[in-house]
Amino acid sequence: MTFARPILLLLLPVAVGLAAFALARTTRRLRRLAEGFGGEEAAGRLTSRGLVDFPLRRLRVLGLAVTVMVLAVAGVRFGPGISLNASRPVDLVIALDISASMGARDLPGGRMGRAKEVVGALLDVLPGERVGLVVFADWSHTLAPITDDHRVVRFFADSLAENFLGERDQGTRVSAAIGEARRQLDARREEGRERVIVLVTDGEAHEDEFAVADSAARAAAGDLSIWVAGIGTAAGAGLGGDGAGARFTDAGGPPVVSRLNERLLRGVARAGGGDYLDASDDRGLAELAARFRRVPEDGEESGGPGDPVTWLILVALLLVAADGLMDRPGSARLRPASAPRPRPRWPPQWLRP
């Protein structure tokens, strides 16, 4: 569960307190009315309702209605994880892994094919936003500086291939990619824009995991977030050929098998203040796009039938209607005149007349 305007949640205790205060004042006036009728029993015979007890059931219903309304005003969104702030423009740098391990074919179309789909999905959900593209292996290089012309980014991303690099084993330095992406964001920094780095990699880094996480934490430094899109599978695949058999071997030993390193990637996302998503399948890719989407789809975040705020407002209206039914004549049972009146536990002393 996330909120577009979490500061408005501070209204919740205030709103519930005002509802309790209003019901307490109403109860006080009704008690005076009952005294004017000659007491509780006489007033009950005339009005067919109880006038002297504090309506605790009504407070519960109104408190729930107020809670639902505040959640709607705060822009609640149901779902796992965090999302970007849809009200702020974005500067995004995509850091794409093009090392030898991205040539593994444990996914349909290979890892590089899936990585390019991730780039395309991010561009689709960020129309008009500024995006840059960095590629990395044992080094990092900026292919497209931050620009609002997505055609440039698409052109460079589509040109990437598994044999983009000629050397057999380039290694992978995630920390270098993070540093290069941060430099691109700093070079065209503008106030008021959300700054984001998205690493698209299998996590086959030739670095210490703690050192990589530390570099992510230092790069984030409170004013940007680092997200990670994982590419690959835990089972992995051999490198070279079609992935079924590995041509690459480890110093003449067993074949080299590249696997998705989720532990490292989750650590990077956690240290960078973002989130990790496995984008290896269509479901993960769709979730990644949903987290970054700026333009609502039909019925999403737009007051349509799929918007949770719409349903929350409907629930709140039904609760208010239920409260009105509780106040109708005959909704409260009258106690016999001989029955002792229990000492009320609610409202607290400061709200009692």
Would you say the pTM of this structure is higher than 0.85? no
Q: Which pLDDT tens digits describe the chain residue by residue (353 residues)?
A: 566 666 778 888 888 888 888 878 777 777 776 676 666 665 555 555 555 566 677 778 888 888 888 888 777 665 545 567 767 889 999 999 998 888 888 888 889 999 999 999 999 999 889 999 999 988 889 999 999 999 999 999 998 875 555 554 456 889 999 999 999 999 999 888 889 999 999 988 888 888 899 999 999 887 899 999 999 998 888 776 544 444 555 555 667 788 899 999 999 999 998 899 999 989 889 888 888 886 544 444 444 445 666 677 777 777 777 766 665 555 445 445 445 555 555 555 555 55
Contact present, 185 and 93 (Cβ < 8 Å): yes
Residue 41: the pLDDT is 61
Residue 294: the pLDDT is 66
- Cα dihedral 33→35→38→39 (10° resolution): 110
92: DSSP letter: E
How many Å apart are CA 24 and CA 60, to the nearest integer? 13
How many Å apart are CA 118 and CA 157, to the nearest integer? 10
Residue 229: the pLDDT is 95
Residue 243: the pLDDT is 44
Q: Structural domains in the chain?
A: 2-79+307-351 (no CATH), 90-233+260-292 (3.40.50.410)
Backbone angles phi, psi at 225, to 5 degrees: -125, 150
DSSP letters of 311-331?
Answer: HHHHHHHHHHHHHHHHTSTTS
Residue 191: the pLDDT is 87
Residue 79: the pLDDT is 54
Contact present, 81 and 151 (Cβ < 8 Å): no
The tokens for 320 are 């208010």
DSSP letters of 237-269?
Answer: EESSTTSSS---BSTTSSBPEE---HHHHHHHH
